Amino acid sequence: MVDTVISFDTIWVIESLPVGDLQTGTSLFSEILGPAKSVHPTLSFRLTTPQSPSELLSVLDDIRLQAEGGAKPKIHFECHGSPDGLQCANGAFVAWQQLRSLLISINEACGLHLIVVLAACNGALNRPGFSGGCFH
């Protein structure tokens, strides 16, 4: 049996939530990841708050370029979700297929070390047998 270790060197928190919503990515970054810097000094922590799909896609492209340079990112999304995709702060969506393509390219660029966390509510609301929602 071969042991496989997945590692990362940069944690990206991408928060795109409307004004008035709890800014959960900002809280994660300041309350959890901030103190973690002293325990894990070799890790890099980044918070970005794209407002539109084009800004979010630009952040992902930056991450891809860094991965091509040897970075191993972990991406944590804090957005609303729907069957259409991830919703940005301005109300527009990034389609799941478009997001999938970019994440695949990042994963390939970092040698299959990409870790993705989606803290996105409402992504399954229109599926049979699911009842749930987003709590603010």
Residue 20 in any domain: the answer is yes
Residue 133 in any domain: the answer is no
Residue 60 sits in a domain whose CATH number is 3.40.50.1460
pLDDT digits (tens, 9 = 90+) for 18-48: 999 889 899 899 998 888 888 888 889 999 9
Decide if 68 contacts 17 (C-beta within 8 A).
Answer: no
DSSP 120: E
CA dihedral of residues 106, 55, 92, 14 (deg, nearest 10): 60
Residue 135 in any domain: the answer is no
pLDDT score recorded for residue 129: 45
pLDDT digits (tens, 9 = 90+) for 55-113: 999 999 999 999 999 999 999 999 999 888 999 999 999 999 999 999 999 999 999 98
Count of structural domains, the chain = 1
pTM as predicted: 0.84
Distance CA 113, CA 12 (A): 14
Element (H, E) at 64: helix 53-68
Reference 72, options 29, 42, 98; nearest CA is 42
Asked whether residue 6 carries a pLDDT value surpassing 50, the answer given is yes
**Local confidence band at 17 (pLDDT 50, 70, 90 cut-offs):** very high
Residue 132 in any domain: the answer is no
Asked whether residue 9 carries a pLDDT value surpassing 50, the answer given is yes
Residue 33 in any domain: the answer is yes
List the structure tokens of 30. Answer: 């300041």
Residue 116 in any domain: the answer is yes
Residue 129 in any domain: the answer is no
Give 107's contacts (C-beta < 8 A, 6+ positions apart). Answer: 113, 114
**Local confidence band at 15 (pLDDT 50, 70, 90 cut-offs):** very high
Range of the domain at 72: 10-121
